[in-house]
């Protein structure tokens, strides 16, 4: 088995809140810290995530999408919490597809017993796709390579290492007795534009 029991006092949930065409867009990330972080250490982690991960993601996004907040919380132990309001847009000056359209990233499974993890990032610029298929030039671009690397890379800040993880509650379709996790080491971008129906206008995030 390639899953391990999740130590809740070191498990960090990170929420990214964005807006696109007056629609709220949310993305959740999970990291495992090498030791239990405090509130101030979580804030340092959020700032590092912004620089090391989110700046790479923003390179893919239309400037019609705006990032407004990062929130991080520890799922157990001291239940540390940190909040970082920000105000930055995507980098591309090209108009965005609708909020439900997304770049679809899939994390490579480490076992057939677990489901693959996904990240669906809004703000798809119109000029990087044709009829819903991402162009070869875009797929092979440096900014895509940088985003793929950022999504699976550990973050080291303040003497703590934060490793990206996928949290699971089942294995081979059977419930696990405790929340568990696996660590992705590779991720791929699907070459077609994905859809996140909950982001359709009036339906949520």
Q: Map out the domains of the chain as residue ranges.
A: 4-199
CA distance 132 to 81: 39
Q: Give 51's DSSP letter.
A: I
The mean-pLDDT minimum among 11-15, 65-69, 116-120, 131-135 falls in 116-120
pLDDT at 46: 98
> Does the pLDDT at position 23 exceed 60?
yes
pTM of the model: 0.94
The angle at the Cα of 58, spanning 190 to 23, to the nearest 5 degrees, equals 85
CA distance 45 to 51: 10
Helices (H), 75-118: none
CA distance 125 to 137: 14
Q: Which of 55, 72, 79 minimizes the C-alpha distance to 15?
A: 72
Q: Which residues pair with 19 in a beta bridge?
A: 24, 66
Please tell me whether residue 79 adopts helix, strand or coil conformation. coil
**Backbone dihedral region of 22: left (phi > 0), alpha (psi from -120 to 50 degrees) or beta?**
left
Q: Between 204 and 195, name the one with better pLDDT.
A: 195
Which residues have C-beta within 8 Å of that of residue 83, sequence separation ≥ 6?
69, 70, 71
> Does the pLDDT at position 1 exceed 60?
no
Chain segment 82-129, per-residue pLDDT in tens = 999 999 999 999 999 999 999 999 998 877 778 778 999 999 999 999
pLDDT at 196: 87
pLDDT at 204: 54
pLDDT at 113: 79
Q: Which of 144, 199, 167, 188 minimizes the C-alpha distance to 29?
A: 167
Phi, psi at 142, each rounded to 5°: -65, -35
CA distance 177 to 1: 14
pLDDT at 170: 87
Please tell me whether residue 96 adopts helix, strand or coil conformation. strand
Chain segment 26-64, per-residue pLDDT in tens = 999 999 999 999 999 999 999 999 999 999 999 999 999
Q: What is the distance, to the nearest Å, from the Cα of residue 1 to the centroid of all Cα atoms in its chain? A: 25
Please tell me whether residue 98 adopts helix, strand or coil conformation. coil
Q: Which of 40, 31, 39, 34 minimizes the C-alpha distance to 11?
A: 31
Chain segment 133-182, per-residue pLDDT in tens = 999 999 999 999 999 999 999 999 999 999 999 998 888 888 889 999 99
């Amino acid at each position: 088995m390639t899953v391990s029991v999740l130590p809740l006092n070191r498990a960090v949930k990170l929420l990214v809140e964005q807006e696109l065409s007056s629609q709220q867009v949310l993305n959740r990330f999970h990291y495992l810290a090498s030791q239990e972080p405090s509130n101030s250490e979580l804030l340092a982690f959020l700032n590092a995530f912004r620089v090391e991960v989110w700046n790479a993601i923003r390179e893919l996004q239309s400037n019609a999408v705006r990032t407004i907040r990062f929130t991080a919380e520890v799922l157990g132990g001291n239940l540390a919490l940190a909040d970082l309001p920000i105000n930055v847009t995507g980098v591309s000056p090209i108009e965005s597809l609708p909020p439900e359209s997304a770049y679809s990233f899939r994390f490579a499974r480490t076992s057939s017993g677990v489901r693959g993890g996904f990240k669906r990032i809004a703000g798809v610029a119109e000029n990087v796709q044709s009829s819903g298929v991402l162009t070869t030039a875009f797929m092979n671009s440096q900014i895509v390579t940088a985003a793929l690397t950022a999504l699976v890379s550990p973050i080291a800040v303040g003497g703590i290492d934060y490793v990206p993880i996928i949290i699971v509650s089942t294995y081979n379709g059977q419930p696990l007795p405790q929340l568990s996790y696996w660590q992705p080491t590779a991720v791929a971008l699907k070459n077609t534009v994905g859809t996140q129906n909950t982001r359709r206008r009036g339906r949520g995030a």
